[in-house]
Every structure is written in structure tokens, then in C-alpha cells.
Structure 1
Amino acid sequence: MSTVVSETPASKFRLPTDVKPTHYDLIVRTDLEKLTFDGSVTVSLDVKEETKTIVMNSSKLKLGKATVYPAGSQSDPLTSDPSFDEKDKRVSFSFPTAFPADTKAKISVGFAGELTGSMTGYYRSSFEEEGKTKYYSLTQFEATDARSAFPCWDEPALKATYSVTMVSKADTVNISNMPITSETVFSPNDHADLKTIFPDVNEDWKVTKFETTPLMSSYLVAFANGPFEYLESSAKMPLSGRTIPLRIYATKDLIHQAQFALDVKAKVLPLYEQVFEVEYPLPKLDTLVANDFDAGAMENWGLITGRTSALLLDPKKADLAAKKRVVVVQSHEVAHMWFGNITTMEWWDYLYLNEGELLMGEVIIEGTAYPEFKPNSEFITLHLNRALALDSKLSSHPIEIACPNAESIGQIFDSLSYSKAASVLRMLSAYVGEDKFLKGVSLYLKAHLYANTVTNDLWAGISESTGLDIISFMDNWVKKIGFPVITVTETPGGIKVRQDRFLETGLAEGKDNETIWNIPLSILTVDANGKSVVDRTAVLDAREKTFKLDTSKIYKLNAGTNGVYRVLYEDAHLSKIAAEVARPNSAFAIEDRMGLVNDALALSKAALIKLSNALTLIDALRNEQEYLVWDGISGNLSSLAAVWWEDESIRGLLDAFRTSLFLPFVKKLGYEYPASENPDISQLRTRAIEQCLAAKEQSVIDELKGRFAQYMKTGDDTVIPADLQGAIYRAAVIYGGKDEYNAVKAIYNKAPTPTSRISAMIALCQSKDHTLLEESYEIALKGARDQDVVYFLSGFASNDLTKREVVTFFQKHYEEFYKRFESTFMMRYLVETTYSGLSTQKDLDDMNAFFKDKDTSKYHMGLAQSLDSIRARIAYIEHSSQDVRYWLEAWKNGN
């Protein structure tokens, strides 16, 4: 297949270093009727080396002449026409005389652009009001799209201060990173300077000026204009004693669902100041909710932005998953106000230095603010297992990876930069102790305030707080590809442990198995009183090592499942472990039980243990009561069903096994959700019902269908608990006809909450009627918002009837999709989602053939990973079909 892999040195893609920006005066006018913007930027420069040419980043903009004012010069200002480099998204201005080194200058450039629906740069989003489509504008600059809003030095290390002025229609609202200093209706007398930039501006317009920002990277600049409303709160900060005003903005139709996100922000913001021991540096912190948004959310300094499903919920109709989503997103983005915004990675190679902070945002701080969600335990499913799944492919990449150009930067916003990065930090925190780890992070931030960093800067801070050589301990975890599997063999005096790189198809060999990691083994044993004891000093820092241990008693490596590795035991010990997990007062904590299940299924996929052994372990957990353990079991069994989706006998047996595990919970817990119920019980009920629906359990199907029928008859949606929306909508479409389909489509068109809309989208793709499916394909292609297309493809890919149909659909409209999403991260997700259900050699061959002549440079990593996934499923079917069939038949027959 065709791809564009550059052999050019990384420096070729970086801007020249002869000048450095120090301050931007940015003026932007927004016209929401014409859907255009224009303005002027004046940048103060330090001239580092003598030069006649000034090179900036610019993309998709019309630029005027540049005017340069050399500092201290009595001569007239110099002007230059722009010279564009479209490929590298740059503009050059050449002047007749050179600017001497070690001097200062100012450059001013006028610009104009269109407010498109691209979800990148400065773009438009839409909403419906009184039957009419209306628009507002906002920014999304990460990673390299500030240049498409105004010409700038668009690299994270080129920090500067920004003074933003917005010109807009008088009846709209302007927001930016900083608070407003003045806002007045345009006056020719008061704003004569603006009249020269915008000759046609009049009293219908207003001028909004904002405070100057601290030193910051261009990708964190943000501004927005529209008919926004807001809710307001505040937070008292523990270090400074200041009260920080907090707002959340949205359009009138959505603002009533924004209170919970505002409350979360108020709760977590002071906790970060306390943990990081660094004062929050800005005078306010806003959040803006957007209908059209490429990512989940964005940590613009002082102005967080994000999509509706990440920031909104109706407290009267909110499911627990939606609440957790809002908590996670707001906490994550607030953490960035320090980790990423004050201290920023030097270049995109080090993206994980920003995004690995999700350990703070989604575990440490969330665990303090919302302990009922058990975020440390849930991290294993949400992040660790996801990271290990991606990192077990030959096509994986290291956490720290060279990103010379825009195409490569866009591809690393994945589970390795986020989830694996956070996982190795969580492992390090468990190894050195959370207090020392957080102290090290604080030292790191304090040493690099308003500056840029590389990996060793973080390790240096934690080394200082612990007295350990963290740099050499952690080096391979971030710079090498993959992760190890620990093979445990019992010896007369203990255990011998060996590390090899783990692949989803088995152990790596040769050059793919050269890395030696420093692995905290965290060996769990049981003392004479039956209490768990964990040795956190044991480290495997060689290929093999022997450790003394009483193997007659139960033991387990990776206590707490903090380690970024799998553990492979001998069959005899795995049987002992299965017996131990079945005990009511097991020595294994919830995190251990979750890790054991995930390891067993992953090892069976790699043919390192039999799949039947993994199922035996799951079967032993029938008396398990913890939701998160069942959540892990649920995900793993769904994955197995997706692998054997075309083998009716195995799929039928798997469905019977799933039903036997989850139906008792349905019978015990029912279908109602009491308001005061423990979150774990609510989530367990939901997961059990969903599993029984997927396994085609008739009693559950009848209940869910009956509830939707009652809703259709009466219009009363109280018969559809928020937590069961997805399951009920799916059941209605799968087992209903056109009436049910149309009723779900009506919900999609006028969804009361973001969650119900997503549930409806996925459900519309579950029909067994091709006529109705054609309607869903048409919605996906022409009716869905750009950000929502992936939900439709996900729905089709999870429907056995359309697993291959959706591939045909995607390929037929490939050029259309490519053009539609070429400037966003979305193309990668569309490829991964479309092909996620395939499992045969023909599927693999056809996929290779289709992409052979395509330019895959924007998504070649995701494509390679998708191909690896199909190969792994083919191998899984080949080596485990007979084993899983025999075990399931024996289980069914009671043997």
C-alpha cells in the first residue's frame, strides 16, 4: 500500500530559529452571517540571527502584505508580499535589508479566512433554534491548526504572550483564554485604529478586549463568538487564597444540562493547586460546550472546550456512565492547566508528557473527589488493558516517538500517548509511593514554569523526590516499543521469572525481543494469618532471575495490577489461582482479580495458554460481586463472541455461557434504578442486562421490547431508565420493525440528552432489515454531524449482518470521507472502526488490495494496527476453535 514516510531530517519541518516571537497583538473579527473571519496580528520579535527573511506558519488563509517595524530604526517600515509553501504550511516574507542579530522588531500581517465546519482551526458549529440553523464559532488548534486562524509561530516551544481583541456583532458573546478588560460598541472616534483594518465596520459591531496571557504555546490559544449563555460558580484556592470565577458556556438549548460539569470543575480545581504545589496562574477558568467537536475535549488555557457528550447531562435523565464521563473529562482537562499548559512538552515527540497526566486527572484527583467511582480500579479496564491491547501489535510504537511533520503528529493521539503513558506513570507511582511520585511531579513543574520539557526533566524531578535513578529505570518504558510478559516457573526454592516482549500472536523473537525492561514485580504472598503481603522491592532487570518464595502457598505477581505487563503462570499454579479467586475472602484484591482475567484472555489469544484455561478462571468467578470484575469479564466475553461471530455452534455455546453468568444478576437486581443506589450495583445491573441482550436471552429481550412498546404507546420515557437507553433502543430495532426503527430515529433527531442521541445512532445500525439499514447508511453519509459518523460505523461494525457491508459502504464513499475528514483525526478512527469486525484471510487480502494505491500518510499507523488485529483474530480462530468448542460443550453437559 502507498504511504508517505519521510526520510527528511526533523529540522526540515521546524521553523527557522533566526527570529523568536515574544508577544502577539491579535485582532479577530467574526461574521456569523457571512461565515467569515478576518483580522490583523502584530508580533513582537527577538531577532536572534541576522536575516532578511521572516518565516511563519500559515494555512488556508488569505494574507495581506507584511509590514515590519525594526526597533529603534528611524527609517520607514519595510513591507513584503507573502510567499506561500502550501506543503509545509508556511509563509515567507523577504525584505531588501537585513535585520541585525540581537535586535527587536515587530511584524504586522492582515489575514482573512472562512468559518468552515472542519472542526479545526477557527471554525463554525451549528445548532437549531425555532426551526432555523444558527451558527457560532470556536477554535481547535491542537496540534498544528493555530496557523489556519492567524499567521504565527505554531510550535509548542515558541511560547509568547497574547493580547486578543475580538470584533463581533453587538448581540453576540465573546470569550477567550483571559478575562475581558473592556467591551464597547464600535465608535469611529474610540476605535480609529480598527477602522483602518475593517473599513466597513459600524455601530452594529462591538469590540471586546481581553487581558494579556502568560507565556503560552500557540496551540493553547482559544477564542469563540456566538449567542452563548452561561452558568457561574467559583473555587477558593488553597495556596493563593484567591477565589477563581468559573463559568460554563453553551447555547440556550443546552445550558440547562451544564451544571454538573461546572460543579465538577469547582470541586477538582483547588485539589490540583494543592497536589502540584503551584498556584493556578490565571484569573478565571471557563468551559465552552460545542455541538461539533473533533476530539472529546481540549485544554485551552482558561477556556476548556469539548463536545456535548463529554460535558453535558440532564440530572433527571442522566445515566451513570454519562456522569462518570463528565467527571473524567473535566478533571482531565483541569489537570492540563498545570501539566501541559504551564509546563509544556518541547515538541510533539513528547506528547505523553502532556497526556500522561490523565493519571492525575482520572485516578489520583478523581479518586479524592469521587471515590465512589473507584477510578484506580477502573483504570485497569479503561486504560491499562486498552494500552496493552494496542501495544501487543508489531505495528505499535514507543510512547516517545519522533514526529517530524503534521501527518505524524496527528497519528500519535492514541492509546499509547494517553493510556500507556498514564499506565507507566501509575506503575512508577506504585513502585516509589504516591506521595514521593507527586512530590517529584511538583518539583518538575516548579523547575519548568512557563517553559518546555523533555522526558528526562520529569524523571529528574521524581529522582530528586525519591533518591532513585528514575532516568535509567524508566528509559525503556517510554523509548522502546512494546511491553513484556513475565513467565513464572517454580523451582525447589522459589520461582524463576523471565521477560520477553509480548505480542498478541505469541512471544516476540529475534530483533523484536531485544529490550530488557526494569520491571517492578510486586510479589503478593499470604502470611500465617492469611493476610496479603506485597514485596515491592523485587525488580526484574535482566532476562531471567530467581526469587526465593514458598511456592506451596498462594502467590501472585503484579499485585494491584499496577505493572505494564502480563504474567504467565504454569497450568498447575493457574489452577490454584482459579481456586483462590473463587474463595469468598480471597487474598486477591479487586484489581488483582481484574488483572488475572485480562491476562488470561490475552495469553490465550497469543496461544500461550489454552482458551479453556481462561474460561475456567472466569467460571470460577461466578460468585464474584464486584462490578468492575464483571465489567472486565463482560468486555472479554464480548470480544470472544466477536471473534467467533461466523461459527454458529461456538457462538451459540458462548452465548449460553454468557447468559449463565449474567442472568442471575438480572433476576436478582431487576430493571429499576433506585435513586440512592450504590453506583456499583447500578452499573452491574446495566452490564448484566446488556450481556444477556447480546447473548439473545429471550426473557431480557421481551422485557426491553415491552418497555419500548409502552414508550411508543404512551410517550412516557420513564419506562426507559437512562442506564438502559442503549440496550432498549437496540432491542427495539433488532427485534422490531419499521415503527420501532422510526421511533428510535425520532429520538435521534430530537434527542433529549447527548447520551440518548449516541444510543439512538448505534441502535439505528442494528436492524436486520436491509431497507431500514439503507436508511441508516444514508443518515451516516448525509445526515450525521462530522463528529458522529464514527458512531454509525461502529454500530454497523457490531451488527453481524453488516460487518462486511460497512466495509463496502466505506470503500464506496472513501474519497468523500477522505475529503471530508482530511484535516481532522477522524480518518484514522473511521478506518479502525470500519474494519474492526473482520476475521478471515480474504478480509485481510481484500483490505490490503483496497489500500494498496491509497495515500495513507494521515492514518498509516491505524491502518497497520487494524491489519495486525485481523491477523491476530485469524490465528486465534485457527489455534483455539477446537479447544473452546470442547470446553463449552463439556460445560454445557455439566462435566
Structure 2
Amino acid sequence: MCRHSGVASSAQTVPSDREVLPTNVKPTHYDLTLEPKFDGFTFDGEETIDFDVKEDTDFITLNTLEIKIHEATINGTKITDISYDDAKQRVTFKSPNELKAGSEAKLYLKFTGELNDKMAGFYRSSYTEDGKTKYLATTQMEPTDCRRAFPSYDEPAAKAKFTIHLIADKELVCLSNMDVKETMDVSDSKKKVSFNTTPLMSTYLVAFVVGDLKYVEDLSFRVPIRVYATPGSEHLGKYAADIGAKTLKFFESKFDIPYPLPKCDMVAIHDFSAGAMENFGLITYRTVDLLIDTANTNVHTKTRVTEVVMHELAHQWFGNLVTMDFWDGLWLNEGFATWMSWFACDSLYPEWKVWESYVSDSLQQALSLDSLRASHPIEVPVKRADEINQIFDAISYSKGSSLLKMISKWLGEDDFIKGVSNYLKKHKWGNTKTSDLWESLSEVSGKDVVKVMDIWTKNIGYPVVQVEELGSGKLKVTQNRFLATGDVKPEEDKTLYPVFLSLKTSEGIDDSLVLDSRSTTIELPTSDDFYKINANQFGIYRTAYLTERWSKLGRAGVDGKLSVEDRTGLVADAGSLASSGFISTVALLNLVKSWSGESNHVVWDEILTRIAALKAALMFESEELNNGLKALTLDLISNKLEAIGWEFSDDDSYDDQQLKSLLFGSAAASDHKEVVAFAKDAFAKFVAGDKKAVNPNIRAAIFNTVARTGDSETYDQLYKIYTNPESIEEKLDALRSLGRFSDPEILNKVAGLLLQTDIIKPQDIYIPMQGMRTHKTGVEKLWDWLLVNWDAIYKLLPPGLSMLGSVVIISTSGFTKPEQKKAVEEFFGTKDTKGYDQGLAQSLDIISSKISWSSRDSDVIAKWLSENGYDTKSKL
């Protein structure tokens, strides 16, 4: 997401407590017919599954969930003995006759399922057209929801072929993984669309869509690429279709393997729990991640759509053609697709310089989550279906991709891509585990990738490398486990990572140095006083320097000795180390103050992110202290903001747009008088009908600003924009801004909308919550809302799906005080946390980190602000 005679490529011992189906039979082919019925939100199904019988047996067990089976036969003989195990989501069919090893068996089933509104399995998505609510039927099978659509061997290693037929009203479009074989009338109003049989594939990649859809097409690639949407929006798919054609051509060349299917469809879905899903040949997307008006979009959305499309297309090879053996190898899918999307984006759009952004984006997401005690290894054991959704997180995606980036640097990009290509060719149509990739990379590079990478994938966390200066040009570097809470226990600090030190000096970069012991001594090759560990920030670790070295590195940044990646990484390291207590927050503040002349938007993004993290930790401290941080922010950005302004033109480069929007938003949030006045004036013109008054690049900041300072009239105006938008981007910007109001009564109104699914779709519930989490009143309101509405939240977002954990994190992680943490622990101490326990534990870790930071350094920060002339006594 945003995820031959096929057997696992090498033997793998399945843990005895892993919940998997029996191996007495193996599915080889599904012939499936489904008919969605929108009047009662059900679907009728028939399927015949062909099995190879592996051992003498008299039963077949399948996964199933919320499906009613009406009829079953094995090899034409009726089955009367059918038993269900609801806890394990299974059904077992007892055969009247014994099935002999080496034979084949046909299981026929007739059933009915629910066309649910949970965005899982075979489900319904709603939208409004001409004032009427309309529906389409679509699928989301990953990770374990194919069983909601039809009884199946719902495990990634149980690859089979699928022949799919859909029955629907004649005017509706029917889509599936493959191209259409034939269409037949079954009545005056109904048709049956039969699709060609798929290659071998896993159940989680099966997909079908039925609805009123239109498309745009790009024929510049070898196979047709179509983007489908509900009528009136299809033209907004042109950009994605163009990106798709370029990307498929690029991947074919890099992997040296043709795209394996006869077509590639991409579909915009109005209700979608993730960003996108890589179903083989029929990729589904949240509308905002596929459809854009390039003339009226902002630079962030354009970049996001580009990367999401590239991510899902990378999956067509890595994940679909070659698939992990089980879900503990999820990172193989998601980490690689994430890395490959950045790689493709850099190759096709070099002017975007996306690898610079990578350091402040994917790498920091990975390091942030993995600094929590409640993180997990990249390769994480999972046993039950309800555990799997919890690992679709920044470890599988961002740490996984950061590890691959580190490997590509170590091996060299050419050897890395060649090793990946060999891996795909060797295992195509089959299943693999992580070591299979390492072995292919080892064969190409001649390096022991297996030994090195096993340490990184099978252990939780990462190190902080502490640097001591011994004099005479010698450095002592020592690695220890890093935790955001700063309270590492001896038993948590036993793993020694192979750390690529990548020493940068005035002589260049030495990539040969590896710290694979607790500590070692290295010698600088020059007599001058410049060095930096982790050149260009390829390594997955933090670097802690002595106080005076931070100051020297700050000057080196000003003097042009550090790359964008270096500067970004230094700010990120300083911020993280300050929050955990490894260094004083003064070192962070001195560093960012010395870089107020910075001109790169990525470095600015990291600077402002780290100040925002400090503000979040001090949110419940004094108003004076928070005003001082606003004054600091304004002082840092004022010269650059004055130089570039916030007017946009067609001549602005990608970097110009990024920097202008970033500084404008920061200035607005810090009460810059001219910026706030501009925002209010532009908004007034906008609601009066001048849609050009608000540039898309700063629309979110303008909406947030007028909400933060606004009244009930402003609320009504933003709510009207949300309910009658001109674009999906405008709609979501308005929705997010609703959480920014500071008036408690208005926030009560916003909280009251969160569970009204006719107003806010469940997929979007987190968006206004994100706005609320940015300020003290909002954080408190979120918690009150969770307490009062927990049962309704739990029902709307059941723990088997991924969104409940996200809602728990957003509703609790804004706290910064011990008594607040205790309240969270006491509330959930009486709840069944199965399915979201990891998210809850991570949130408690985040709160603990902020408690430590604010209690340890709030006085130090206040003193520094005062000494540096930032007014902490009065409102700005």
C-alpha cells in the first residue's frame, strides 16, 4: 500500500503459534462470480476453487469473515458438515469422501456477503452527484480482508490464478486485475463481464470495482494506462496517467523485466482507508492522491501524487511479481516501494532534488518512531490477523526505505539495482523472505550483505554515536542505543550495529570507516578543525558532539562546507538529542539561530519542525515561554521572508514555491502582523468570490490563520467551503482548519462533527483532529471527545482496521504532563487494547519524552530566550 508453480524460494520454519491455514491442500485456481447489490448493500457470490491435495485428508479449511455460505460441494458431492471458527476467521468443510494425496479437488461455494462501509474487503463507497448520494463497489484486501469478499486461502504465500466475473447493471463499468475477455447480457438490465485469467498472485492483490466511472487514457507506454474517476472528475487524472506511463517505462528499464500485465488501471475511490493500494493491474487510490488540477494545485500535492503513483507502480514488480512469504516481511514490499518512488522521482524530475527532502521526510519519520521503546524491528514477527495492520507504519515504510538507501550507498547504486533485478528474475511469480534479497545483493557486490543487514532488520531501534575529541586529530566514537525518553536500560543496549561513519573533512569523504564495536578511535586526515560524521546523512543513527563542536558545525554550515543533507541532518540530530537529554537544548537553539540566513527550503523545514517540536513539548507551560518561542521563530525567518515575500508567479521554481509557502505558514502561526493581515484580507476576498485571492501554495496556512483568530462567522465560512469546495484539496484544507479554532464552543461543534459520517467520512476523521492537536485547548477537547465517545469510536473504527490506532495516537499524544499521562493509562487500563496496543504504547512513549524534556529544560530555554532578547513577558 502506500502496500509458475509458486512456493517459497527457500524453506522457512513457521512459528508454532502463528495462525495460518493447514497445508493439507493448496489452491491453484479460483473461478469467482460476484454481483454487488446496492439496494441492500449485499453481494451474491459463487466460486469454484481448484486444489492440489498434498496429503490424505477429509477436510478443507478457508479464511472467511462476515460471509454466509448457502451451498458447498467437493468434487460435486454436497457438504453438510460445515464448521466455523469466528475467532480465527475460518470455515472448515468436511468432505464425505477422503481426498487422496496427489489428486485434485474442486470446492464449489455459493454465498452472500455484506457490501460494507468499513473500507475493507468488498465494500461500498459513496459520493454525491446532482444532490443525490450514489455508490460504487470496490475492494481493499490488504492485508487480510480478501476473506470478507470470498472464502479463500488468505495468505500471501498461497498464490493462485484467478478468473473473475462481475454481474452488474449494464450502464456501470466493471474492472478487475486483468483485461475483459467477454461481456454477456444476463437480463434486460444486467450484464456479466468476464476477465482473462490472472497470472499467479496473492489474494491480497485481487481487486474489482463496479460503478459509474469515466476515464482518461495514456497510450504512450507499451500497454494502455487509464485513470478512472466518477463522472466530472476524470479529466483530473491526466497528470497521473502521464506519470504512470513515464514511470512504467523507467521501471521496465531499471528492473530489466517487462511490466507483466496487459493493462494498468488506476481508480480514484471516494472512501479509502490508506493512500493507495497496489492491486495487480488495478491500483486504487484515495481521490486526493490521484486526481489533481495541475494549474490550481500546490507544490506539495503535486509531489505527493507523483510519489504515490510511483510507489504503487514499483509494487507491480516488488510485491506483486515477487511477494514476501508472510507479513513479517512486509517491509520488503513497502520499504522498497518507498525507496524506489524516490529513486524514480529523482531520475525523472531531477530539478526537484528529492533526495535532499528525503533526509527531512522519510529518514526523520523512521528515526522518530524507532526512537520509542514501543517501536518494533523492521522484520517483525506477526502471528494473528489483528497484529498485521499495526506494522503498516514508519518502520516498514520509512526505516525500510532508509535502510535500502544506506545499502545502495554502501554497495553502489549500479550494483544495488542489478542485485534487485537479479532477485526479481530469480523469484518472479514466487514468494521470498528478506535473506533472499540480501543473497542477490551479495552475489553482485561481493560483500556480506546478509551478515550486516540481519543486524539492522532483526533488531529494534538504532544507535547514537557519541564523538569525543582526544586531541592531536583523534576522535573516539562510541555507539549506544538511542531512546527518545533518554532512559536506556543495560539490557536494551546490547546490539552493536555496523555503523557507516562516512567521515567528511576538508579532504573529502571517507566511506571506509565502519564502527561495528562499542567504540573505536579514528584519526582525522587533515590538520584543520573541520569534520562531520555521517556525511550527507546516509546512515540510520544520530550523532552527538561536544557543545563547542555544535557551534563550529554551525559556522561550517554558514561557510558553505556542509551539503543540504548535512545541514538538515545536523538540525534533526540536535533537535532529537536535545529532546532526549543527550545534549542541552541550548545547543539546538544556538545552531538554528546561526542559520537564519539559510536559503534552502529543506533545511528551513527541519529548523521549523524542530522548533515546533519544542513548542509541542512546552504547550502546557507558561504563555510567556510560548510567546518567546514565537518571537524566536519570527526573528529567524524575518529577513528571508522579507527577501522572498509571499506573492507567487509562474516563474517561481519548485524550490521558490516550497520556501515561500513554508515561511508564510510559519510566520502566520507565529502572529507576524503583516502576514496575518494579508491572510485575513485574502480570505475575505476569497469568500466574496475572488478565487484567485488565495494561492493554492498558501491556502492551508490562510485557512488555518483565519480559523485560529476567528469567530463563529469564520467557522460558518470555512464549513461552507468544506461542504461546497471547488476541489478536493480545498475541501481538505478547510476541514483541517476547523480544528484550529481556539474558541471552546466552536471546538465543541467541531468535535461533534467527527462521528457524523454523513458530514465527515471515516477516512477523514483524523484531519480536523490534526488541527486540534496543534494547540492546548484542542488537545484537551480531543481527550474529552475520546472519553465521551469511546464506544462509538470503537464501533465505527473496529480494531481489526488500522485507523483506530491512529485516532488513539492523535487524541492522546499531545499531552505533556505526568497527570495527563496517568489519565491516559488509567482509561485504557480498563479497555481491551487488542489491535491498537502498539499505537497506544507509542503515544505513551511520546508523552513521556515531552514530560522529560519540558521538566528538564524549560528553565534553561526561558533563560536563553531572555538573554537573546526574545520577549517572554507580553503577548506579541
Asked whether the equivalents of residues 71 and 111 of structure 2 are also in contact (C-alpha less than 8 Å), the reply is no
Partner amino acid for 1:749?
T
Q: Tell me which of 868, 874, 894 is aligned to 2:845.
A: 868
Q: Contact 2:328–2:381 at 8 Å: present in 1 too?
A: yes
For 2:837 and 2:421, locate their aligned partners in 1 and report how far apart those are by CA, in whole Å: 37
> How far apart are 1:40 and its partner, in Å?
0.6
Conserved 8 A contact 1:235-1:269: no
Per the alignment, residue 659 of structure 1 pairs with: 634
Q: Match of 1:706, as an amino acid? A: D
C-alpha contact (below 8 Å) 2:485/2:845 kept by paired residues = no
Structure 1 residue ranges without an equivalent (≥5): 1-7, 70-75, 187-201, 237-242, 528-532
1:385 to 350, 355, 364: 364
Cα deviations across residues 536-573 of structure 1 (Å, max 9, x unaligned)? 11111111111121464301111110100001111222
Question: 2:32, 2:164 within 8 Å by CA — same for their partners in 1?
Answer: yes
1:342-378 CA-partner distances (Å, limit 9, x unpaired): 0000000110000011344332111011222222111
Partner of 1:72: none
Q: What does residue range 463-612 of structure 1 map to in structure 2 within 5 Å?
A: 463-491=442-470, 492-506=472-486, 508-527=488-507, 533-549=508-524, 550=526, 552-583=528-559, 586-612=560-586
> 2:339–2:404: 8 Å Cα contact kept in structure 1?
no
Does residue 210 in structure 1 map to residue 195 in structure 2? yes
- Find the counterpart in structure 2 of residue 85 from structure 1: 85
Cα pair 1:490 1:551 within 8 Å, conserved? no
Which of 205, 217, 223 is equivalent to 1:232? 217
Alpha-carbon distance between aligned partners in 1 of 2:778 and 2:78, rounded to the nearest angstrom = 63
Q: Is the counterpart of residue 851 in structure 1 residue 836 in structure 2?
A: no
1:11 is displaced (CA, Å) by: 4.7
Q: What are the within-5 Å matches in structure 2 for residues 743-892 of structure 1?
A: 743-782=717-756, 783-822=759-798, 823-892=800-869
1:617-651 Cα offsets, whole Å, 9 max, x none, are 11111111111110111111111111112221221
Contact kept? 1:31, 1:169, Cα under 8 Å: no
Whole-Å separation in 1 of the counterparts to 2:328 and 2:653: 42
Query: Which residues of 2 match residues 166-177 of structure 1 at below 5 A?
Result: 166-177=166-177
* Deviations 1:489-509 (CA, angstroms, capped at 9, x unpaired): 122342111110111122623
Displacement of 1:712 in angstroms is 2.6
Question: Are 1:665 and 1:685, in contact at CA under 8 Å, matched by a contact in 2?
Answer: no
Moved more, 329-338 or 392-401: 392-401
Q: Is 2:343 the counterpart of 1:368?
A: no
Q: 1:269, CA displacement in angstroms?
A: 0.9
Q: Is the 8 A contact 1:333 1:361 kept in 2?
A: no
Indicate conservation of the 8 Å contact 2:669/2:705, yes or no.
no
Distance 1:323 1:232 in 2: 19
Return 763-772 or 128-137, whichever deviates more: 763-772
Q: Distance in 1 between matches of 2:481 and 2:263?
A: 47
Label 1:622 to 1:780 Cα distance change in 2 as closer, same or farther (>3 A): same
Question: Within 1, Cα distance between the matches of 2:652 and 2:818?
Answer: 48
Alignment of structure 1 residues 635-784 onto 2, 5 Å = 635-646=609-620, 647-713=622-688, 715-782=689-756, 783-784=759-760
CA distance in 1, matches of 2:859, 2:790: 38
- C-alpha separation between the residues in 2 aligned to 1:320 and 1:386? 21
Counterpart position of 2:132: 132
Contact 2:747 2:781 in 1 (8 A): no
Rounded Cα–Cα distance in structure 2 between residues aligned with 1:413 and 1:795 = 23
SS at match of 1:116: coil
Q: In structure 1, what is the Cα distance between the partners aligned to 2:275 and 2:638?
A: 34
Distance 2:870 2:704 in 1: 32
Contact 2:62–2:91 (8 Å) recurs in 1: yes
Distance, in Å, in 2 between the alignment partners of 1:734 and 1:340 is: 44
Contact 2:744–2:777 (Cα < 8 Å) also in 1: no
C-alpha deviation, 1:432, in angstroms: 1.3
- Pick closer, same or farther for the CA change 1:499–1:21 going to 2, 3 Å: same
Amino acid at match of 2:26: K
Q: How many aligned residue pairs are there? A: 852
CA displacement at 1:729 relative to structure 2: 1.0
1:258 is paired with a residue whose SS is: helix
For 1:718, the aligned partner's letter is K
Q: What pairs with 1:101-250 in structure 2 (closer than 5 Å)?
A: 101-186=101-186, 202-236=187-221, 243-250=222-229
Shift of 1:277: 1.3
Indicate how the Cα distance of structure 1 residues 210 and 13 shifts in structure 2: closer, same or farther if over 3 A, else same. Answer: same
Give the Cα–Cα distance (whole angstroms) in 2 for the partners of residues 362 and 373 of structure 1. Answer: 13
Question: What CA distance in whole angstroms lies between the structure 2 residues aligned with 1:441 and 1:453?
Answer: 13
Alignment of 1:240-639 (within 5 A): 243-491=222-470, 492-506=472-486, 508-527=488-507, 533-549=508-524, 550=526, 552-583=528-559, 586-639=560-613
Q: Which amino acid aligns with 1:866?
A: S
How big is the shift at 1:796? 1.5
Contact 1:29 1:166 in 2 (8 A): yes
Query: Residue 10 of structure 2 corresponds to which residue in structure 1?
Result: none
Matches within 5 A, 1:65-80: 65-69=71-75, 77-80=77-80
One-letter code aligned to 1:654: L
Deviates more, 1:547-556 or 1:686-695: 547-556
8 Å Cα contact 1:391/1:482 also seen in 2: yes
Please give the alpha-carbon distance, in whole angstroms, between the structure 1 residues aligned to 2:323 and 2:850: 39
Q: CA deviation at 1:771?
A: 2.9
Question: For the structure 1 residues 758 and 864, does the alpha-carbon distance in structure 2 shift closer, same or farther, using more than 3 Å as the test?
Answer: same
Question: In structure 1, the residue corresponding to 2:241 is in which secondary structure?
Answer: helix
Partner of 1:171, secondary structure, is: coil
Counterpart of 1:425 in structure 2: which amino acid? L
The percentage of counterpart residues that share the same residue type is: 36
Cα distance, 1:657 vs structure 2: 0.7
Q: What is the DSSP-based 3-state SS (H/G/I as helix, E as strand, rest coil) of the residue aligned with 2:651?
A: coil
- Secondary structure of residue in 1 paired with 2:834: coil
Tell me the C-alpha RMSD between the 2 structures: 1.4
Deviation at 1:431, TM superposition (A): 1.2
Query: TM-score, with normalisation over the residues of structure 1?
Result: 0.94
Gaps of 5+ in 2: 1-13, 872-876
CA distance in 1, matches of 2:452, 2:93: 47
Distance in 1 (alpha carbons) for counterparts of 2:863 and 2:775: 27
Give the residue type in structure 1 aligned to 2:781.
Answer: E
| Larger deviation, residues 803-812 vs 9-18 | 9-18
